[in-house]
Amino acid sequence: MEPQVIDKVLDTMRQFVREEIIPLEAEFLAKGFTAMLPKLQEKREMVKKLGFWCPQIPEEYGGMGLSLMEHGLVSEVLGQTPIGHFVFNCQAPDAGNMEILIDHGTPEQKEKFLLPLVRGEVRSCFSMTEPEHAGSNPVVMSTTAVKEGNSYIIDGHKWFTSAADGAAFAVVMAVTDPHASVHQRASQIIVPTDTPGFELIRNISVMGEPGDGWASHAEVRYSDVRVPQENLLGQEGHGFAIAQERLGPGRIHHCMRWLGICERAFELMVKQALLRELGPGTVLADKQTIQNWVAESRAEMNAARLMVLDAANKIDKQGVYASRNEISMIKFFVAGVLMRVLDRAIQTHGAMGMTDDTPLAYWYRHERASRIYDGPDEVHKMVVARRIFKQYR
Ligand SMILES: Cc1cc2nc3c(=O)[nH]c(=O)nc-3n(C[C@H](O)[C@H](O)[C@H](O)COP(=O)(O)OP(=O)(O)OC[C@H]3O[C@@H](n4cnc5c(N)ncnc54)[C@H](O)[C@@H]3O)c2cc1C
Per-10-residue mean pLDDT for the chain, 393 residues long?
91 98 96 97 98 96 94 96 98 95 97 98 98 94 97 98 98 98 97 98 97 98 98 97 85 94 98 98 98 98 97 91 94 98 98 97 97 96 97 95
Contacts 24+ apart (CB under 8 A), 271-275: 272/345, 272/348, 272/349, 272/352, 273/348
370 CA from centroid of ligand 1 (Å): 10
Q: What pLDDT sits at residue 162?
A: 98
32 CA from centroid of ligand 1 (Å): 25
Topology given in CATH for the domain delimited by 241-392? Butyryl-CoA Dehydrogenase, subunit A; domain 3 (1.20.140)
158 CA from centroid of ligand 1 (Å): 13
9 CA from centroid of ligand 1 (Å): 36
343 CA from centroid of ligand 1 (Å): 22
Nearest protein Cα to ligand 1, atom 14: 160
| 124-233 CATH choice from 3.40.50.150, 2.40.110.10, 2.60.40.2230, 2.60.40.10 | 2.40.110.10
Indicate the top mutation candidate among 100, 133, 136, 242 to test ligand 1's pocket, ranked by most ligand atoms within 8 A of CB. 136
Q: What pLDDT sits at residue 246?
A: 79
- Among 239, 229, 221, 222, which Cα is nearest to 147's? 229
| Longest Cα separation, the chain | 80
Q: What pLDDT sits at residue 320?
A: 87
Q: List Cβ neighbours of 63 (8 Å cut-off, separation of 6 or more).
A: 53, 54, 55, 56, 57, 118
How deeply is 116 buried, as exposed, middle or buried, from its count of CB atoms within 10 A (0-12, 13-18, 19+)?
middle
Q: Contact 170/161 with Cβ under 8 angstroms?
A: yes
Task: Point out which residues pair with 216 in neighbouring strands.
Answer: 211
Q: What pLDDT sits at residue 154?
A: 98
Q: Which residues line ligand 1 (CB under 6 A)?
A: 93, 126-129, 134-136, 160-162, 217, 369, 372-373, 376, 378-379, 382
Q: What pLDDT sits at residue 244?
A: 87
Q: What pLDDT sits at residue 248?
A: 77
Q: What pLDDT sits at residue 158?
A: 98
**Which sequence spans correspond to the domains of the chain?**
3-118, 124-233, 241-392
Q: Which CATH class is domain 3-118?
A: mainly alpha
Q: Contact 90/123 with Cβ under 8 angstroms?
A: no
Q: What pLDDT sits at residue 1?
A: 82
Q: List Cβ neighbours of 147 (8 Å cut-off, separation of 6 or more).
A: 153, 176, 229
- Helix, strand, coil percentages for the chain (3-state, nearest 5): 60, 15, 25
Q: What pLDDT sits at residue 375?
A: 93
- Among 76, 191, 91, 88, which Cα is nearest to 145's? 191
